[in-house]
């Protein structure tokens, strides 16, 4: 008899299924007309994220339209810095901007209260869980310590190395004690924030390391591996038992070591991860990924070919079908439907 558990959770447990479960990063977003209509009612993006009624609705929109196997709560990775007093705003067409870094000691004093400070996200999760069918899983998430730190440290210093987090990496070399102290605060804050999400109904938690890209191996070990190990250990100390997904984006050459050394239950792979590397990681633990969002935008026969390649390479082991990065705002809905038909999910 088939397991009653959602297929997404079964894949994270290491089961090989008839077809891979599927969800897309940023599946709730601007490519959906229903999202754009609701977003227009809230000019402030952070306020939109912290409105449980609106955030729950946009979380559910792609589930209704596509029937994905998992929903991911609609939120943002920069809610913790904002809760600790750092100014966060979004420039149209340019993304997030942050003000001056708060005192690290003051943030350390607040870390245990991260879940309570962001209780709106918990309410969103509860609303979504109540509305979702039992066979659909619900994912919570947080930005990984280094990724959140890059935004906090960069502030307005965008004049050099834009797109490579150059300012934050310079800090990591020049002021290691300050950066390591900030990472420790973010580990503790993120643990309490993620615990709150699990308590509110999240059945899996994802750690988004969006800026693991371009780090030499010694810096990767210090800024990514060790904080992830600490965060996972702290979550388990706090009694969190749900599966964890680590996403060290842009670090394909180091993905196998990450899979061995970090006690997550699955590793998400990015667009540039070679199929052979993904297969080796898959022998260690379940994987997720890694369709190119630009190919999803392009569609056509090339999209079908790549989906087939991924299915052939990774479909024999535990795998969650996903993108290698977030869905783009101008992706045609028909292309999402094309992928779902190709993998037999629609």
Residue 3: the pLDDT is 60
pLDDT in tens, 310-319: 999 999 889 9
Domain annotation covers residue 130: yes
Contacts of 78 (CB under 8 A, 6+ apart): 88, 96, 98, 143, 148, 151
23 with 71: CB under 8 angstroms? yes
Residue 167: the pLDDT is 86
pLDDT at 142 over 70: yes
Tell me whether residue 200 is annotated as binding: no
**Positive or negative: CA dihedral 227, 228, 229, 230:** positive
pLDDT at 157 over 60: no
Cα radius of gyration (the chain): 19
Residue 252: the pLDDT is 86
Question: What is the CB neighbour count within 10 angstroms for residue 143?
Answer: 25
3-state DSSP assignment of residue 229: helix
Catalytic residues: 26, 30, 39, 76, 151
pLDDT band at 154 (very low <50, low <70, confident <90, very high): confident
pLDDT band at 1 (very low <50, low <70, confident <90, very high): very low
Domain annotation covers residue 252: yes
pLDDT in tens, 186-231: 999 999 999 999 999 999 999 999 999 989 999 999 999 999 999 9
Tell me whether residue 151 is annotated as binding: yes
Tell me whether residue 189 is annotated as binding: no
Domain annotation covers residue 89: no
Residue 156: the pLDDT is 42
pLDDT at 123 over 50: yes
pTM for the model stands at 0.95
| Mean pLDDT, the chain, whole residue set | 94
Tell me whether residue 316 is annotated as binding: no
Query: What's the CA gap between 243 and 240, in Å, rounded?
Result: 9
Domain annotation covers residue 87: no
230 with 207: CB under 8 angstroms? no
Q: Which two tokens stand for residue 286?
A: 């379940």
pLDDT at 164 over 60: no
pLDDT at 322 over 70: yes
3-state DSSP assignment of residue 49: helix
pLDDT band at 155 (very low <50, low <70, confident <90, very high): low
Tell me whether residue 113 is annotated as binding: no
Which DSSP helix (H) or strand (E) runs through 310? helix 300-314
**Percentage of the chain with pLDDT > 70?**
96
Domain annotation covers residue 277: yes
For the domain that residue 337 is a member of, what is the CATH number?
3.20.20.210
Average pLDDT over residues 231-242: 98
Tell me whether residue 27 is annotated as binding: yes
Nearest Cα to Cα of residue 192 among 121, 257, 124: 121
80 with 182: CB under 8 angstroms? no
Tell me whether residue 26 is annotated as binding: yes
pLDDT in tens, 24-80: 999 999 999 999 999 999 989 999 999 999 999 999 999 999 999 999 999 999 999
Domain annotation covers residue 224: yes
What's the residue count for the chain?
346
Instruction: Say if residue 68 is exposed, middle or buried (CB neighbours under 10 Å; 0-12, 13-18, 19+).
Output: buried
What is the DSSP track for 278-308?
A: HHHHHTTS-EEEEE-HHHHHH-HHHHHHHHH
The total number of structural domains in the chain stands at: 1
C-alpha distances (whole Å) from 90 to each of 6, 37, 59, 270, 319 are: 36, 19, 20, 25, 34
- What residues make up the domain containing 63? 7-76+102-148+157-342
Domain annotation covers residue 219: yes
Tell me whether residue 29 is annotated as binding: yes
Question: C-alpha angle 226/21/240, rounded to 5°?
Answer: 40
Tell me whether residue 229 is annotated as binding: no
pLDDT band at 161 (very low <50, low <70, confident <90, very high): very low
């Amino acid at each position: 008899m088939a397991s009653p558990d959602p297929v997404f959770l079964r894949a994270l447990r290491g089961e090989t299924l008839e077809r891979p479960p599927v969800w897309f990063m940023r599946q709730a977003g601007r490519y959906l007309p229903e999202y754009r209509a609701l977003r227009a009612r809230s000019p402030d993006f952070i306020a939109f994220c912290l409105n449980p009624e609106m955030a729950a609705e946009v979380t559910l929109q792609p589930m209704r339209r596509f029937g994905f196997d998992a929903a991911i709560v609609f939120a943002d990775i920069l809610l913790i810095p904002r809760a600790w007093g750092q100014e966060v705003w979004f420039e149209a067409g340019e993304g997030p901007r942050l003000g001056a870094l708060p005192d690290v000691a003051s943030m350390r004093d607040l870390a245990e209260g991260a879940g309570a400070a962001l209780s709106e996200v918990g309410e969103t999760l509860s609303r979504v869980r109540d509305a979702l069918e039992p066979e659909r899983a619900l994912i919570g998430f947080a930005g990984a310590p280094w990724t959140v730190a890059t935004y906090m440290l960069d502030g307005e210093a965008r004049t050099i190395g834009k797109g490579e987090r150059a300012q934050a990496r310079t800090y990591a070399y020049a002021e290691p004690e300050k950066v390591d102290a900030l990472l420790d605060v973010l580990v503790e804050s993120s643990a309490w924030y993620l615990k709150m999400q699990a308590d509110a109904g999240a059945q899996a938690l994802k750690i988004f390391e969006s800026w693991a890209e371009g780090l030499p191996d010694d810096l990767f070990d210090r800024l990514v591996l060790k904080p992830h190990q600490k965060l996972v250990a702290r979550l388990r100390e706090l009694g969190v038992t749900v599966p964890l997904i680590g996403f060290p984006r842009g670090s394909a050459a180091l993905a196998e070591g990450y899979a061995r050394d970090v006690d997550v239950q699955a590793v998400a792979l990015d667009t540039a991860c070679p199929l052979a590397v993904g297969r080796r990681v898959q022998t260690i633990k379940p994987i997720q990924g890694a369709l190119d969002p630009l190919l999803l935008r392009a569609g056509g026969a090339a999209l079908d070919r790549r989906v087939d390649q991924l299915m052939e390479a990774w479909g024999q082991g535990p795998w969650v079908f996903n993108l290698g990065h977030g869905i783009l705002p101008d992706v045609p809905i028909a292309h999402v439907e094309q992928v779902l038909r190709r993998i037999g999910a629609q």
